[in-house]
């Protein structure tokens, strides 16, 4: 048996033993070390994804850990290897896959949503999903690789180039990561965020942050760019006002990258898209190259992952951590430590 955090019903999680199994052909067994709680996990917790998530469901996809054992036919991996997981399983046969876009497979299995996730002491995953981690990278920081891969993919979709002016609307974990990745690409970056705590963190990381409740953001962007407008805006807030701001700050032929999941249709100023020849691009998930770049950025300190970790809790306290995250502004990333009492389960230290 292995201890797992499970979604049972809206606003109800438990920690319970689940049956452990051996890895099959092409699979590996992992001992998760740290698992981050993300916005999608909160949507599940709120019951917003019940049509997709079958309860009881083991959550978690932002993770780091070590290989415990490998199944038949698996080569290149051995017990003790430090890894993270790109939690995507695609069918390789749908139109998206045939066009080379497997990460948005039309029948995608997102591991941790559509199938059991990492918030447990033992986890079986396809070997093809493993991403190797440097031995020098602490595993708590490595749990930030997955959201960093999201940011890498977003910045790539927006085609951010050196010297460009970039506005990130929403300074939560993904917004801050996008800002840091864009800065690493050579862009000048501004972050728009209501939370004083998050603005302070952005500034401590060397970013300039504005409070949209206190300042006229488009006017500030005009001053910053000599009235040219921003080259790129990222909408990461998920709010209607965030969409308006992201559109309003863009200059001629600016690019708006939509990152946040908007649960309902939004009004968009299409006249401004026409008048300034703007481009809207969606960004969803990542591919292996995004993950590999994310590993490098976290490992070399370009992404100060440790600064984004607000708290680490043991597996048994994960349900309370979900409630803490609902407060939003004063918390960035909470990690669940899955190593507690692991030796009692199967005798493998991590």
Dihedral (CA of 79, 83, 89, 90) sign: negative
What share of residues in the chain are helix, strand, coil (percent, to 5)?
30, 30, 40
For 112, the token pair is 């941790």
Give yes or no: 225 in active site: no
Give yes or no: 40 in active site: yes
Give the whole-angstrom CA distance, residue 282 versus residue 258: 5
| Residue in 40, 225, 279, 302 annotated catalytic | 40
If we measure between CA atoms, which residue out of 128, 146, 123 comes closest to residue 335?
Answer: 146
Q: What is the DSSP string of 264-330?
A: S-----HHHHHHHT-EEEE--S--HHHHHHHHHHHHTTSS-HHHHEEEEEEGGGHHHHHHHHTT-TT
Residue with tokens 């440097």: 134
Give the whole-angstrom CA distance, residue 116 versus residue 126: 12
| Residue in 2, 12, 15, 43 annotated catalytic | 43
So which residues are the catalytic ones? 40, 43
């Amino acid at each position: 048996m292995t201890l797992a955090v499970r979604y049972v019903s809206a606003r109800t999680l438990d920690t319970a033993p689940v049956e452990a199994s051996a890895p099959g052909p092409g699979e590996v067994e992992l001992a998760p070390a740290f698992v981050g709680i993300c916005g999608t996990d909160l949507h599940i917790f709120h019951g917003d994804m019940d049509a997709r998530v079958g309860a009881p469901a083991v959550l978690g996809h932002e993770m780091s850990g070590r290989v415990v054992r490998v199944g038949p036919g698996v080569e290149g991996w051995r017990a003790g290897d430090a890894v993270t997981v790109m939690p995507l399983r695609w069918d390789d046969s749908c139109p998206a896959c045939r066009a080379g876009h497997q990460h948005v497979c039309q029948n995608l299995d997102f591991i941790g949503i559509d199938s059991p996730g990492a918030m447990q002491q033992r986890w079986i995953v396809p070997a093809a999903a493993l991403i190797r981690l440097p031995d020098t990278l602490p595993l708590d920081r490595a749990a930030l690789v997955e959201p960093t891969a999201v940011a890498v993919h977003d910045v790539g979709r927006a085609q951010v180039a050196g010297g460009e002016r970039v506005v990130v609307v929403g300074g939560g974990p993904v917004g801050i990561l996008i800002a840091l990745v864009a800065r690493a690409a050579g862009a000048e970056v501004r972050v728009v965020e209501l939370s004083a705590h998050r603005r302070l963190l952005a500034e401590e990381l060397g970013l300039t942050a504005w409070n949209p409740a206190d300042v006229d953001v488009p006017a500030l962007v005009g001053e910053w760019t000599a009235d040219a407008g921003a080259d790129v805006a990222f909408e990461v807030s998920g709010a209607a006002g965030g969409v308006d701001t992201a559109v309003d700050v863009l200059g001629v032929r600016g690019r708006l990258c939509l990152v946040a999941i908007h649960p309902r249709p939004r009004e968009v100023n299409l006249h401004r898209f026409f008048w300034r020849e703007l481009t809207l691009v969606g960004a969803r998930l990542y591919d292996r190259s995004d993950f590999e770049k994310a590993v490098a950025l976290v490992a070399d300190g370009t992404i100060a992952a440790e600064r984004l970790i607000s708290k680490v809790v043991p597996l048994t306290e994960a349900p309370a951590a979900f409630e803490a995250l609902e407060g939003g502004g004063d918390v960035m990333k909470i990690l669940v430590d899955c190593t507690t009492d692991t030796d009692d389960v199967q005798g493998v230290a991590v």
